[in-house]
Structure 1
Amino acid sequence: MARTYFLLMWTWTRAAAAYPVSFALMTLFGIAIAALDVGVILVVFANTTTLAGFSRDEVLFLYGASSVSFAICDTFVSNIDRVSQHIKAGTLDTILIRPASAWIQLATDRFVPARVGRILQAGIVLGYAVGALGIEWRRAWMIPVMVVTGVVIFTALWTLGGALQFVLTDAPEVTNSLTYGSHQLNQYPLSIYGRDLARAVTYVLPLAFVNWQPGLYVLGRADPFGTPEFMRFAGPAAALVLALLAGLAWRQGIRHYRSTGS
C-alpha cells in the first residue's frame, strides 16, 4: 500500500519537476501565503503583550505545532477532498476498478509537491518557538508525539470529509470546514474561544489534542478550563478513535456508492 502511494506521488512529482521555474515559484508562493498567518500573530502582539494569558512565543509554539501537522496532511492527503468531483465526472468508477486502494489513488490525485514549502515554513516557526521558550528537555518528548497525533487527526478529518461527499456530492465545502476550518481554530490558544467551544473540541471533535492539551504539558501550563491533567496525554488514544471512525465512514461511503454507469 505504501509503495503504491509513493509510486503515484512520484509520478506527479516528476511531472511538476519538468517545469523547475514554475515549481520553485509555486513553492515560494506557498511559503508566503502560509507566512501571512504568522504575520497576523505578530500584528496582534505588536499591540499587546499576552493573548488570553499566553505570550507571543507560546502562541507561535501552538501555531507551529498545529501547522506542521496540518501542512503535512495538506501536502500528502488533502486531495481526498476531490471525491465529489470524481463522482460528478464519473471518473470514480475508473478508480474503483483499479487494483489499488481508492483512498490512496484519491489522496495522490494531482499531488502538488510545491506544498512541501508550507511544511518547511511551519517547521521553522515551531523550531524558533521551541528555542525561544527554552522548553525543558524532560517535556520536549511530547513535541513529536503531538505532531504525529495532529497528522492522524487531520488525516481522519479529511477522510471523514471525503466520506461525507458520497452523500453530499454538491457540498465539498463540508471538507473545508472540517480541515481548513479546524486548522484556523487551532492556530490560537483555545482559551480565547470560551469554555463551551473548548469542551466541544475536547470531548466531541478532538481538535484540542492537536496542539492545545499536549501543548499545555510542554509549556508547563495549567488548563484555564480545569481539564484533568491526564488529558494532556490522551491525544494518541483520541486520534486512534477518530481514525477508526473515519475508516468506517469511508468504507461505508465506498460500499454505498452507486455507479454512474460510465
Structure 2
Amino acid sequence: MLGSRARSQRSYRVGFGVDLASSLLVGVVELAEVWVLFHNVDRLGGIDFAQVLLVFGLADLCFSLADLAFGHCDTLPTYVRAGTLDVFYLRPQPLLLQLVTSDLSLRRLARAAVGLAALVAGLVVNDVAWSPATVALLLVAVASGIATFAALFVTAAGLQFFLLDGAELTNAFVYGGRYAASQPASVWSRPLVVVFGFFFPMAFTAYLPALALLDLPGSDWLPGWLGWCAPLAAVWAWALATLSWRTGVRHYRGGGG
C-alpha cells in the first residue's frame, strides 16, 4: 500500500519535482536563519556556528524522518470532523497503524537531505574524538531523536480527540519543539527547560547528544553527559504518546453518522 502511494506521487514528475524543491528550499532557509544568527555573534549559549551546525543537523534529520512516517497524523482532525475515522475501526489493523500508513509524503525526503548534509558538515568541521563509543552514541542519538519526534506527533494526535480545531495549539508544541531542538538549549529560560528539556524532551534529540559528541560540559540543568540518556528520553516521550493516544481513542464515540 505504501509502495503504491509512493509510485502515484512519482508518476506526476513535474509536481513531484516542485514538491521536492519547495521542501528543500524550506530546509535551506531554516539553515540560513541559523547562519545569519551566528554570523552576528561568535558564540551563543557557549557554542559556535560549527557546533550548532551539528545540533541543527541532528535535529533536522531526526525530525524530517519522523515527519515522513508520522507527520500526517496532523490529518486526524479532518478524519474526525468528516466521520471517516469510523472506517478505520472496520479494518483488522490497529487504529494508529492505519493512520501512520494512510499517507506517505516523499517530498519530506528533501528536507531530510538538508539535515543530513548539515550533520555531515558538522561532524567534519568539529574536532570529534572518534571511537566505537562515539559512533554508537551518534547512531543511538539519531534513532532516539526520530523516536522522540515521532512520539510528539502521536501525542498531538491523541489530544485532537479532546480539542475542537486544536491543531494549531498542538502544532505549536510539535513544530515549536523542532525549532527549539535545533537551537542551543543553554539559552532557554527555566520554564522552557522544564517544558522542552524534560517534559517534551527536545533537548535530548540533538543538543545534549551534540554536547556528548563534542565533550562539552553544558549547563547546570542540562549537563553534557545527559546526551547518553537520549534513549530514556525517547521511552518517556512514547509513554506520554501512548497515554495520550489510548485516552483519546477511549474518549472517541464516533462521527455520529
Q: Tell me if both proteins adopt one fold, taking TM over 0.5 as the criterion.
A: yes
Offset of residue 108 of structure 1: 2.9
Deviation of 1:230 (Å): 4.8
| 1:129-168 alignment, distance < 5 Å | 129-138=122-131, 139-168=134-163
Alignment partner of 1:250 is 2:250: no
- Shift of the alpha carbon at 1:227? 4.0
Rounded Cα–Cα distance in structure 2 between residues aligned with 1:12 and 1:169: 30
1:166-187 CA-partner distances (Å, limit 9, x unpaired): 0103111133122111001111
Distance 2:182 2:222 in 1: 20
Q: Is the 8 A contact 1:87 1:169 kept in 2?
A: no
Q: Which of the numbers 182, 188, 191 marks the counterpart of 1:187?
A: 182
Question: How do 1:1-262 residues align onto structure 2 when only pairs under 5 Å count?
Answer: 7=1, 9-138=2-131, 139-225=134-220, 227=222, 230-262=225-257
Indicate if the aligned counterparts of 1:195 and 1:225 stay in contact, CA closer than 8 A. no
* Whole-angstrom distance in 2 between the partners of 1:226 and 1:29: 38
AA aligned opposite 2:256: G
Change beyond 3 A, Cα 1:226–1:86 = closer
Q: Normalising by structure 1, report the TM-score.
A: 0.91
Identity %: 27
One-letter code of the match for 1:185? A
Root-mean-square deviation (Å): 1.7
In terms of mean alpha carbon deviation, does 108-117 or 177-186 score higher? 108-117
What is the identity, as a one-letter code, of the residue corresponding to 1:127?
Answer: V
CA distance in 2, matches of 1:244, 1:187: 23
Query: What is the CA distance between 1:228 and its match in structure 2?
Result: 5.3
Cα distance change on mapping 1:202 and 1:42 into 2, 3 Å: closer
Q: Residues 115 and 200 from structure 1, CA distance in 2 versus in 1: closer, same or farther, beyond 3 angstroms?
A: closer
Letter paired with 1:88: R
Gaps of 5+ in 2: none
Which 5+ residue runs of structure 1 have no aligned equivalent?
Answer: 1-6
Aligned length: 255
